[in-house]
Structure 1
Amino acid sequence: MTAIVVALTPEFADWECALLMAVARSYLGVTVKTATGDGRPVTSMGGLNVTPDLSFAQVRPEDFDALAVPGGLAWEKNVVPEGLHNLVRAFRSEKKMAAGICAAASMLAGAGVLNDVKHTGNRVASHQKYPDYRGEELYVDGPKAVFSDGVVTAAGTAPFTFTVEILKGLGLWDATAQEELSPFSAEHR
């Protein structure tokens, strides 16, 4: 069975991961777990109080197929939990998917995993704030998510294609996924 862990930070952007979590869990039978830096509850930007299943230290890449990270205010407020970069690197060293949207796409840049794959995000300038980022030549400036060699990135405006690319990358893009997700794209046509 496919398993995804969603790493949550204080004031995470709840809408950026909600579609992925709901469709994967409710319609595709995917195990979806949440994790926070210390395993304690966090509150989203929208006021959702989430009690996580795990702490970052308890997340083992061998137990999951993908790590997905929504953006949020943690990066603006400098309250990103310790260990998130290491968690991303651990997933990539095990050839597991790492996905980041909005500020979390830039976090992937900071973890050094965007240097050799096509990627996107809110702006390349946001990625360039991180000293370990050297992937400017591979940056795709566009409104949709990008999947490349096990890494999914998206601007904060693209939670639909973020979800689609994660599901495609995990081999879960089937008739059920298309049926459940296609209505969400209609607004953007």
Structure 2
Amino acid sequence: MITMKDIIRDGHPTLRKVAEEVSLPPSEEDKQILNSLMEFIQNSQDEEIAKKYSLRPGIGLAAPQINVSKRMIAVHLEDDNGKLHSYKLFNPKIISHSVEKTYLPNGEGCLSVDETIPGYVPRYARVTVKAYDINGEEVKIRLKGLPAIAIQHEIDHINGIMFYDHIDQENPFKEVDNASPLVK
């Protein structure tokens, strides 16, 4: 089981590396790692388990965050309509996106970043992602709203990009061109 001790923190060199493709079909070891990423996210959202193991709640986790420089991510959250979006993905890639952008008015957080970094993080409002599921089958996923933001955040991790890289350093709360805030 992954705990907060296993999650590497901001400044660790693995977080800035472009992660390697996972060879397909995925090995048992890679499947195990991907399943453990999802297990952590689901446990972090369960109040009792989170309290017992001192887990910070999260909605996504990428393999580089546990010091495994491979292209695998897990995302688990509900959208505004209460629909569950739960994805364990190998080699995810954004293949198309909207022109329109969005951002979270309160900014983004990250399990690898201990402090709050204020500012707007511009993201595409809608994305289509191509990836491979736990069995190595190709999947195509269309997302909007918070699930789209979460998957972009995790794909950034496998590309060595941190969320705060997107924040305007001069003016963190500058209005984002062609964007509307995602309001819950």
Which has more radius of gyration?
2
Normalising by structure 2, report the TM-score. Answer: 0.26
The structure richer in helix per residue is: 1
Instruction: Determine which structure has greater relative contact order: mean sequence separation of CA pairs < 8 Å that are 6+ residues apart, divided by chain length.
Output: 2
The structure richer in strand per residue is: 2
